[in-house]
Structure 1
Amino acid sequence: MKKILLCCSAGMSTSMLVKKMEQAAESRGMDCKIEAQPVSVFEDAIQEFDVCLLGPQVRFQLDELRKTASQYGKQIDAISPMAYGMMKGEEVLDQAIYLMSD
Structure 2
Amino acid sequence: MTNILLVCSGGMSTSMLAERMVAAAKAKGVEAKIWAVGEQAADGNVGEADVVLVGPQMRFKVPELKAAYPGKPIDAIDMRDYGMMNGEVVLDKALALIG
Question: Shared fold by TM > 0.5?
Answer: yes
Identity of aligned residues (%): 48
Letter in 1 for 2:41: V
Give runs of aligned pairs for residues 1-102 of structure 1, distance below 5 A. Answer: 1-70=1-70, 73-101=71-99
CA contact 1:43–1:68 (8 Å) conserved in 2: no
Letter in 2 for 1:45: N
Question: How many residues in Structure 1 have an aligned counterpart in Structure 2?
Answer: 99
Question: What is the alpha-carbon distance in structure 1 between the residues aligned to residue 90 and residue 46 of structure 2?
Answer: 18
Runs of 4+ in 1 over 4 A off after TM superposition: none
Letter in 1 for 2:94: A
* TM-score after normalising by structure 2: 0.96
* TM-score after normalising by structure 1: 0.93
Question: What is the alpha-carbon distance in structure 1 between the residues aligned to residue 4 and residue 51 of structure 2?
Answer: 5
Which residues of structure 2 form unaligned runs of 5+? Answer: none
Question: What is the alpha-carbon distance in structure 1 between the residues aligned to residue 86 and residue 2 of structure 2?
Answer: 19
CA RMSD of aligned residues (A): 0.8
